[in-house]
Amino acid sequence: MKSSIIPIFIPHLGCPNNCVFCDQHKIASTVKEPDFSEVKGIIEQGLSYARKPQISFYGGSFTAIRRELMEGYLQTAVPFVESGLCDSIRLSTRPDAIDEDILETLRKYHVKTIELGAQSMCDRVLAASGRGHTAFDTSKASGLIKEYGFELILQMMVGLPLSEKEDELYTAEALCRLRPDGVRIYPTCVIDKTPLYDMYLAGRYKALSVDEAVDICADLLDIFEKYGVYIVRLGLNPTEELSNGGVKAGAYHPALGEMVYSRRFLKKVLPLVPKEPYDILVPPRSLSVAIGQKRCNLSYLKSISPICSIKGEEGLELPFKISIR
């Protein structure tokens, strides 16, 4: 699943809805759609640092933009694929912007990967979030994408309006049954100048804390792992804007992914904690996750048990081993 990409940001020009978490005003007023020559330049520049990358159209509902514009972008990108300089094309879109005609077009232009913004598989959550599509739309689109032979990546959001932990677990199970090749998990962040921020200020929306989101996502990891679904990313990509006040509330942290894996490790260890002094041994590559950010796992275990250390052991094949002193 891991490969280098050349990201090309396409604004939400074709998005038919105003999702409560999205800053449509900013997108419409300050972000300009790239023209075809700019797209070509972005690809050429990307080739200077990436070998056979995927050309990736991100930032909006690619298949919902004007048809001539969508095909123009694909026509600009496809020569780089046909010449062997790039591997393939990747795009992100909405479940209700997928049909047989669109998929035939995408296949013609060597699109390999389609990322689908499912967000939730609970219709009341989707309605409260202003998504404008249903869980059935996601199931139908996913089935078509797989039927046409594309790689399917599903995106889910944790902590949307009206969503409870049981809804997040249900969504993860439902997404796994659609047989995606991977998932992205994004805890909801409250961004300035969005309907969600207005709801938050009015007390009509309670944002998840970072700790709450980490705890929920740690349980989601087990579900996706059970079904063998690869997690492409956990948490928003850190940007200067997000890190400097762009997020007004919610579960944003630059190291959220590592925090989630650390919490999952702690949850697996806790039922096995002995009463005698002990060490936890882990493969060396897992040491930082086991200890936790700012040593949070080790500190917590020391507060409730006679743990002596968490340390790496070469050759250990288990996720961890508890060694009594």
Q: What is the pTM of this model?
A: 0.91
pLDDT at 70: 94
Token reading at 36: 């075809």
pLDDT at 123: 97
Give exposure, 141-169, as e/b (b: 16+ Cβ within 10 Å): bbebbbebebbbbbbbbbbbbebeeebbe
pLDDT at 96: 93
Asked if 13 contacts 66 with a C-beta cutoff of 8 angstroms, the reply is yes
Asked if 197 contacts 248 with a C-beta cutoff of 8 angstroms, the reply is yes
Closest CA to 66 of 109, 150, 115, 10: 10
Answer positive or negative: Cα dihedral of 8, 9, 15, 21.
positive
- Mean pLDDT computed over every residue of the chain: 91
pLDDT at position 244 over 90: no
Beta-bridge mates of residue 154: 116, 183
CA angle 81, 140, 112 (to 5 degrees): 10
The residues of the chain that CATH labels 3.20.20.70 are 5-254
Task: Cite the DSSP H helix spans in 109-164.
Answer: 123-128, 135-147
Mean pLDDT of 105-116: 95
Asked if 167 contacts 130 with a C-beta cutoff of 8 angstroms, the reply is no
pLDDT at 29: 42
pLDDT at 50: 84
Between 7-16, 141-150, 278-287, 308-317, the lowest mean confidence (pLDDT) is in: 7-16
pLDDT at 30: 45
Beta-bridge mates of residue 152: 114
Cβ-based neighbours of 182, under 8 Å, separated by 6 or more: 1, 151, 153, 154, 229, 230, 231, 232
pLDDT at position 24 over 80: no
Cβ-based neighbours of 164, under 8 Å, separated by 6 or more: none
> Topology of 5-254 in CATH?
TIM Barrel (3.20.20)
Q: H or E element: which one contains 32?
A: none
pLDDT at position 274 over 70: yes
Token reading at 111: 């699109």
Between 18-32, 201-215, 220-234, the lowest mean confidence (pLDDT) is in: 18-32
- In this prediction, what percent of the chain has a pLDDT beyond 90? 79
pLDDT at 237: 78
pLDDT at 13: 59
Task: Write the pLDDT tens digit of every residue in 153-165.
Answer: 999 999 999 999 9
pLDDT at 18: 74
Token reading at 34: 């790239």
Token reading at 189: 């962040």
- In this prediction, what percent of the chain has a pLDDT beyond 70? 94
Task: Write the pLDDT tens digit of every residue in 46-102.
Answer: 999 888 999 999 877 899 888 999 999 999 999 999 999 999 999 999 999 999 999
pLDDT at position 253 over 80: yes
Q: How confident is the model at residue 16 (pLDDT cuts 50, 70, 90)?
A: low
